[in-house]
Amino acid sequence: MFKSSRYACLVILFLTVVSQVSARDLSQDQALKLRKEGKVLSSQTFIERALERHPKARLLELELEEKHGRYVYEVELLTVQGQVRELKFDASSGELLEDEEDD
């Protein structure tokens, strides 16, 4: 019994650490520093690109994250149809990685 509960605790600890390591939200100061260093494109670029894909949508949230060594901008929009969309862009190249309905 002791070994199985110890094993369960280790698994939970491992999953917690892995989830924290896989994605890290960056502060505005960190984003500005990366922009000045030329490592990421401007946040305005991604807002405009997201709104081109979903005209007349409202911006709900914009986040810069570091995921698996890659900088990713996540743009969350509310469309005129009432859908919440989450778009993910490679912050360095501008490539659209994902455009999906957010739950």
Q: Is the pLDDT of residue 3 over 90?
A: no
CA distances from 38 to 5, 29, 62, 82 (A): 48, 14, 19, 36
Question: What domains, with CATH codes, occur in the chain?
Answer: 23-101 (3.10.450.40)
CB 87, CB 102: distance < 8 Å = no
Neighbours of 64 (CB within 10 A): 23
* pTM beyond cutoff 0.85: no
68 SS3 class: coil
Percent of the chain whose predicted confidence (pLDDT) is above 70: 79
11: pLDDT confidence band, cut at 50, 70 and 90? very low
Q: How far apart are the first and last CA of the chain?
A: 38
